[in-house]
Amino acid sequence: MKKGEIILKRENRNFNAGFCIIKQELPDLINKIQLLHQDERNYFDTLLFDKRKADYLLGRIASKKAIGELTKEENMDSISIGFGIFQFPVVKSSVNRNIQVSISHCDNLGIALAFPEEHPLGVDIEKLDNNKIDVMRSQVCANEFDLISSSDLCLPTGYTVIWTIRESLSKIFRTGLTMDNKLAEIKTLIKVGTVYVSTFRHFSQYKAISCCAGDYVCSIVLPKNTVPVLDLFWNSFTEIVQE
């Protein structure tokens, strides 16, 4: 497990976010079940399949640890993370600090960002998967094919980067997969150091930052004029993927 804080630098004010990245299988996750709020435990007890149980625990445990990094809250079982009507996570606690989370999980990896509502964030992680490449390719716009071709990304990785960026944006808007791909079209994609920075054709107020590590791609979408300090996050992501 890796966790820490992210500084979000703005022109007139800085914000903080918390993150947590977990790589664990179901038996180890169940050992942390005491972190769940009673409402979460009640929901968990309705899950029948191990995959659903693992995904739920990855998301909830990562979220609570991320919230702890941001708020220094120690009583994790006092925080309940429920579902909105489109299945987006909603943080509920006895002390409402207007904190929300963005969650993603893939295989035995879970990632969560905790952030103040004033400063939205969205995160997504995907594994390169030949069985999903055709589906991902079908969602790529003509201009995005050109962006991938002009980058140093191979096509499968490029498709996965595009996919994670769209997923992260949809989490900010809380629309799920109902957003038209053309509406979320990526305008630019450039490599900056070890990450890739993207902008959107129709949502110019946002940008995406993506990192590839091993067989995984992770993207974060955030306000365009924010300068995030992400070194610890990306280092943690790379290290935990390679464990």
Contact by Cβ (8 Å): 90, 83 = yes
- pLDDT given for residue 54 in this prediction: 97
Angle 217-220-125 (CA atoms, 0-180°, nearest 5)?
35
Hey, what are 213's tokens? 């590590």
The residue ranges of every structural domain in the chain are: 1-119+227-243, 120-225
Contact by Cβ (8 Å): 229, 16 = no
d(CA 91, CA 101) in angstroms, rounded, equals 7
Angle 110-129-178 (CA atoms, 0-180°, nearest 5)?
70
Residue 101: CA count within 13 A, CB half-sphere: 34
57-109 per-position pLDDT tens digit: 999 999 999 999 999 888 888 899 988 877 788 898 756 678 999 999 999 99
What's this model's pTM, rounded to 2 decimal places?
0.95
- pLDDT given for residue 183 in this prediction: 84
Closest among 105, 167, 156 to 130, alpha carbons compared: 156
Strand, coil or helix: 200 = strand
Angle 222-209-6 (CA atoms, 0-180°, nearest 5)?
60
Q: What string of DSSP letters covers 207-230?
A: EEEEEEETTEEEEEEEETT-EEE-
**1-119+227-243 and 120-225 agree in CATH topology:** yes
Closest among 241, 47, 209 to 128, alpha carbons compared: 241
- How does the average pLDDT of the chain come out, rounded? 93
Contact by Cβ (8 Å): 112, 65 = yes
- pLDDT given for residue 146 in this prediction: 95
**Quick one: fold of 1-119+227-243?**
Ribosomal Protein L22; Chain A (3.90.470)
Question: Percent of the chain having pLDDT more than 70?
Answer: 97
Question: How large is the average pLDDT for residues 153-162?
Answer: 96
Q: What is the CATH number of domain 120-225?
A: 3.90.470.20
Query: Binning pLDDT at 50, 70 and 90, where does residue 176 land?
Result: low
